[in-house]
Amino acid sequence: MRNSLKTASIWKLVNQSLEDLPTVSAVVVTYNTGPELRDCLEALLTDPQIDEIIVVNNGNKPRDLGFLNRLADRHRNRLQLISGHGNIGFARGSNLGAKYAHGDRLLFLNPDAILRRGSVAALEEAAIDRPEPWIVGGRIFDIKGREQRGGRRRMLRLTSALVTYTGLGLFERLHPIFADVNRFKEAPPTGPVEMPVVSGALMYLSRSGFDQLGGFDEDYFLHVEDIDICRRAQETENGGVYYTPLAGALHHGSTSDAPSFRVDWEKAWGLGLYFRKFAKAYPERILACLLIPLFAILLIGRSVGRSTFGRAKRQFTSRRAKVVIEARANANA
């Protein structure tokens, strides 16, 4: 089957199936996700390759919580809702969901992501004959079908982090030192390949491999925990991380109403924790601590820049449309 995957069109394998598919538990951690959560769960409930859904409620508005309770009651044989623990972050929430899961495989999926039908079989196929512990990720794309950043990445190093968050990746063609960690602009592979880092928005592991790795590191609250577990998998004897473009999820992104400043700070803190954890010498740990404010400034600045650019683009498009409408009206007068 693996040879056929390398030559077949990605989009013709949307309904891919696999005989003797292991039992699969999908774990979804949600915090004030909004209406996209409904789409995420309904897609999972109608996917015949998903045996069980564990929803970890880190906090949702009363209306959405009511929906979750009704859904869990209606699908009590397939969907389990875990609530009452507060906002414990993504890593702890994922580990909590895995604790309640019964499947041989664990699929971690963002609450604002819609799993493409047939993806589980593609993820499982990519893991065939791989030694434990393995991690498999898939393609993350937006509503226009464009691949998003994060689905396939290089291993995060201090230099590559600075290049990525300062925008110096624009000069990658000049020298490899300017290589961005994200590889979504590269030509996609046609089948499963080794990949240093895949996204926690769509991450597939065996139960035994997840337990062997000790789950996600709960010192991370939000962001970077996926990079951490991928690195630990690769540094474990016989472990590996893989990416398949034949599995995928539509990812809305930024649907939680959590303040962007808080999100950026947690990511900056996570980066500092990551570099301290994997530092090989004491001076590197000190440097990692000192760089946390810098990462925060870079991340917040990037968010502000994107927001400002997006707003300016929308205003320009609106004005342009108004001019076109007025021109047509004058021409018809």
Residue 297 is predicted with a pLDDT of 73
Sequential DSSP letters for 170-231: GGTTT-GGG--SB-TTSPPPSS-EE-SEE-TTEEEEEHHHHHHHTSS-TT-SSSSHHHHHHH
pLDDT band, very low/low/confident/very high, at 54 (cuts 50, 70, 90): very high
Residue 6 is predicted with a pLDDT of 40
At 167-184, the pLDDT tens digits run 777 788 888 888 888 999
Q: What is the mean pLDDT of the chain?
A: 85
At 282-291, the pLDDT tens digits run 777 777 777 7
Highest average pLDDT, of 78-87, 179-188, 270-279, comes from 78-87
At 285-328, the pLDDT tens digits run 777 777 777 776 766 666 655 556 555 555 555 566 555 565 56
**3 state SS of 303:** helix
How far, in Å, CA of 165 to CA of 178, rounded? 11
**3 state SS of 146:** coil
At 90-115, the pLDDT tens digits run 999 999 999 999 999 999 999 999 99
* Range of lowest pLDDT (18-32, 213-227, 228-242): 18-32
Three-state SS annotation for 65-117: HHHHHHHHHHCCCCEEEECCCCCCCHHHHHHHHHHHCCCCEEEEECCCEEECC
How far, in Å, CA of 66 to CA of 81, rounded? 11
125's enclosing H/E stretch is helix 119-127
In angstroms, what CA-CA distances link 229 with 90, 97, 153, 254, 319? 13, 16, 13, 23, 47
Percent of the chain exceeding pLDDT 70 equals 81
56's enclosing H/E stretch is strand 52-59
Cβ(208)–Cβ(131) below 8 Å: no
pLDDT band, very low/low/confident/very high, at 7 (cuts 50, 70, 90): very low
How far, in Å, CA of 297 to CA of 173, rounded? 26
Residue 3 is predicted with a pLDDT of 37
In one-letter notation, the amino acid at residue 212 is Q
pLDDT band, very low/low/confident/very high, at 271 (cuts 50, 70, 90): confident
At 109-127, the pLDDT tens digits run 999 999 999 999 999 999 9
Specify the pTM. 0.83
- The yes-or-no verdict on residue 89 having pLDDT over 60 is yes
- The yes-or-no verdict on residue 10 having pLDDT over 80 is no
Residue 327 is predicted with a pLDDT of 57
